[in-house]
A and B are shown apart, each in its own frame.
Chain A
Amino acid sequence: MEVVMAFVVGGMYAAAIYMMLRRSIVKLVIGLVLLSNAANLLIFTLAGMLPGAPPLIPPGATVPEGLSADPLAQAVVLTAIVIGFGVLAFAVVLIHRAYEVVKADDMDQMKDTDR
């Protein structure tokens, strides 16, 4: 499973970077979304994949029995998803406003500040 995930994550990073290198600002934002999801999947995979073993402590015990999935990594991923979503919402509004002001979906038209 980890091997498959490694290829999935690698493919998502590659796709994200490719999208970010395009000139269209919409594709730029799609690239950012892919990148944040790829990073989340990476954390999820690196913490060790252990299906069917929730970290629940049986009554009377103080530690879970045997090996269990790592809840911390999942909490981290959850936080990162929420943050990523918030930032994405901002980025979408930003490109919409930028499109209204610049009247183009092209990074090459956005060079005014570099002169």
Chain B
Amino acid sequence: MNMSVALPVIIPLLAGALSVMFWRSHFAQRALGVLGTGAMLAATVWLLMETWEHGHVVMEMGSWPAPFGIVLVSDMLAAIMVVLTGIIGFATALYSLSGIGKMSEKFGYYPLLHLLLAGVNGAFLTGDIFNLYVWFEVMLVASFALLILGGERSQMEGAIKYVTLNLLSSMIFLTAIGLTYGLTGTLNMADIGDKLSTVEDTGLITVIAMLYLVAFGVKAAAFPFFFWLPASYHTPKVAVSALFAGLLTKVGVYALFRVFTLIFNQDVDYTHEILLWVAAATMLTGVLGAAAHYEFRRILSFHIISQIGYMIMGLALFTPLALVGGVFYIMHHIIVKANLFLISGITFVMKGTHELKHMGGIYRTNPMLGVLFLIPALSLAGLPPLSGFFAKFIIIRAGIEAEAYWVVAVALVVGLLTLYSMIKIWAEVFWKAQPEGVEGELRDVSSGPMIWMWVPVIMLALMTVAIGLYGEPIYQMAAMSAEQLLDPSQYIEAVLGDSRQ
């Protein structure tokens, strides 16, 4: 029995329960926030090392053998995702020390944070399709509550759209689970993948595959299901925005990767062709939306959508190199995107607004923040030697090798437009002079209680540079996960083992 695969779920649940017990003590909740997410980060790194060594780490819950009980499975992709969850969770907890405010803490910010992380980790690690639904709901309920902390009008409006579309996608997901169960008589993902290869009715399989595509497409904010994201992500507290931006849509992307490699690999020409069109349209609409907006966090929200397109493109091309690129892109994106949102929080404290028109001159007063912004921003646009360059390079090279030239062209144009809107933020917020009639610095952010906002920003920026300069181990991990994804028999063997036949 290997505990390492259960710890990333147990630790945040435990920390969340403890912080509910210390409801009135802000100090205890903060300490639990940092310690809990720190312990989770350590546990996820341990899991990554175990997975690197053994290939797959499987744990049967309650010792019920698969496929009858629920299994937790960590393959390389899942292990990478939980480590990223650990990093972002820890960064957010540090940032929240000075960035979240007493009111949010009073209404249960920290317990919800832990619950959200538990849901995200559970979704990454479970090997059971219905259990995946349950973890999705755990994550969603926590995110609903985090989204409306503060109770402003814009948050309510954003939350209604977010809640409705996410519940709709959950119900489509549940419908798809019902149909899958009717067809195969099992809920274990490895078992479903094993049994579907013997099912005759390929038409019905494709229908179910499309239901999963719609359900996870909504969660991942892929075209044409992304409307809830730009309507809601700019409304909550910045720390919450950063957490959502880093993790939530990526759970949808992870589910797409899992389902369309392990389960629906019968009719790749048909299903993955649709995915490729979805990817191209997602990239393009996202970046065009970003180009049209002048609110810091709305621009970043639209960029999440456009980046999701690159990840789905990696899945859709379905070659070894493309999957390496997709996984590499997820790793790069989560770190960079969360960091950009955290930086928008610092500029908000300085200027009291997210509107680009009312900001300016930060580079003059605080050049360090300008540099810290440029690192993730240029990485997002794909400039060497930062992490985004290699992520884009691998995916585009895979596209050329697969001779999908039109999607490569779209990806390159989108890269250019990404650079445009990052430069737009740079010019408006940091470079141009302070607009007249607007107050200068509202608060000093470089000292005193605000210092905790800088720690995670610097930490994540250093990671971006490190992935760019020393990307070999990251590439190796992505390559191993791609190899496992393309050969689902390894996963099936690890889960079902000798219980088959």
A residues neighboring B (CB under 8 Å): 20, 25, 28, 32, 35-36, 38-40, 42-43, 46-47, 72-73, 76, 79-80, 83, 86-87, 90-91, 94-95, 97-98, 101-102, 107, 110-114
Interface size on B, residues (CB 8 A): 36
| CB-CB nearest 10 A-B residue pairs | A46-B182, A43-B178, A98-B156, A110-B157, A39-B174, A42-B178, A35-B171, A83-B137, A101-B153, A101-B156
Chain B residues within 8 Å of A20, by CB: 164, 168
Quick check: is B288 within 8 A (CB to CB) of the other chain? no
Chain A residues within 8 Å of B161, by CB: 110, 113
Whether the pair B157, A112 counts as a contact (CB closer than 8 A) is yes
Q: How far is the CB of B216 from chain A (nearest CB, A)?
A: 16
Quick check: is B456 within 8 A (CB to CB) of the other chain? no
Q: A79-B134, A83-B137 known; A43 and B156 CB under 8 Å? A: no
Binds A, one of B87-95, B107-115, B231-239, B243-251: B231-239
Whether the pair B156, A97 counts as a contact (CB closer than 8 A) is yes
User: Contacts A94-B160, A94-B163, A113-B231 given; 19 further ones with Cβ under 8 A?
Assistant: A32-B168, A32-B171, A35-B167, A36-B174, A42-B178, A43-B181, A46-B178, A46-B179, A46-B181, A47-B182, A76-B130, A79-B134, A83-B137, A87-B137, A91-B167, A94-B144, A94-B156, A98-B160, A112-B157
Quick check: is B423 within 8 A (CB to CB) of the other chain? no
Residue of B nearest to A110 (CB): B157
Q: How far is the CB of A74 from chain B (nearest CB, A)?
A: 12
Residue of A nearest to B186 (CB): A72
Chain A residues within 8 Å of B252, by CB: none
> In the complex, A83 Cα to B134 Cα: how many Å?
8
Residue of B nearest to A76 (CB): B130
B residues neighboring A (CB under 8 Å): 130, 133-134, 137, 140-141, 144-145, 148, 151-154, 156-161, 163-164, 167-168, 171, 174-175, 177-179, 181-182, 187, 231-232, 234-235
Residue of B nearest to A88 (CB): B167
Chain A residues within 8 Å of B179, by CB: 42, 46
Q: How far is the CB of A63 from chain B (nearest CB, A)?
A: 14
Chain A residues within 8 Å of B171, by CB: 32, 35-36, 38-39
Most chain A Cβ neighbours within 10 Å, of B137, B163, B168, B171: B171
Chain A residues within 8 Å of B163, by CB: 90-91, 94
Chain B residues within 8 Å of A90, by CB: 141, 144-145, 163
> In the complex, A87 Cα to B163 Cα: how many Å?
9
> In the complex, A110 Cα to B1 Cα: how many Å?
52
Whether the pair B174, A47 counts as a contact (CB closer than 8 A) is no
Residue of A nearest to B167 (CB): A32
Chain B residues within 8 Å of A72, by CB: 187
Among A25, A35, A43, A97, contact of B168 (Cβ-Cβ < 8 Å): A35
22 residue pairs of the A-B complex, CB under 8 angstroms, read A20-B168, A32-B171, A39-B178, A42-B175, A42-B178, A43-B177, A46-B181, A76-B177, A79-B130, A86-B137, A94-B163, A98-B160, A101-B152, A101-B153, A102-B153, A107-B160, A110-B161, A111-B157, A112-B154, A113-B161, A113-B234, A113-B235
Chain A residues within 8 Å of B181, by CB: 43, 46-47, 73, 76
Chain B residues within 8 Å of A101, by CB: 151-153, 156
Chain A residues within 8 Å of B160, by CB: 25, 28, 94-95, 98, 107, 110
Whether the pair A76, B234 counts as a contact (CB closer than 8 A) is no
Most chain A Cβ neighbours within 10 Å, of B151, B153, B158: B153
Whether the pair A86, B156 counts as a contact (CB closer than 8 A) is no
Q: A39-B178, A87-B137 known; A113 and B158 CB under 8 Å? A: yes
**Chain A interface mostly helix, strand, loop or mixed?**
helix
Whether the pair A102, B157 counts as a contact (CB closer than 8 A) is yes
Whether the pair A43, B154 counts as a contact (CB closer than 8 A) is no
Q: How far is the CB of A57 from chain B (nearest CB, A)?
A: 15
Chain B residues within 8 Å of A94, by CB: 144, 148, 156, 159-160, 163
> In the complex, A110 Cα to B235 Cα: how many Å?
13
Among A43, A73, A95, A114, contact of B174 (Cβ-Cβ < 8 Å): A43
Q: A20-B168, A32-B164, A91-B167 known; A97 and B151 CB under 8 Å? A: yes
> In the complex, A90 Cα to B235 Cα: how many Å?
19
Chain B residues within 8 Å of A35, by CB: 167-168, 171
Chain A residues within 8 Å of B141, by CB: 86-87, 90
Chain A residues within 8 Å of B134, by CB: 79, 83
Q: How far is the CB of A82 from chain B (nearest CB, A)?
A: 10
Chain B residues within 8 Å of A86, by CB: 137, 141
Q: How far is the CB of B483 from chain A (nearest CB, A)?
A: 33
Residue of B nearest to A98 (CB): B156
Whether the pair A76, B137 counts as a contact (CB closer than 8 A) is no
Q: A36-B171, A113-B231 known; A28 and B156 CB under 8 Å? A: no
Q: How far is the CB of A38 from chain B (nearest CB, A)?
A: 8
Q: A36-B171, A42-B175, A73-B181 known; A113 and B164 CB under 8 Å? A: no
> In the complex, A114 Cα to B161 Cα: how many Å?
11
Most chain B Cβ neighbours within 10 Å, of A35, A80, A98, A113: A113
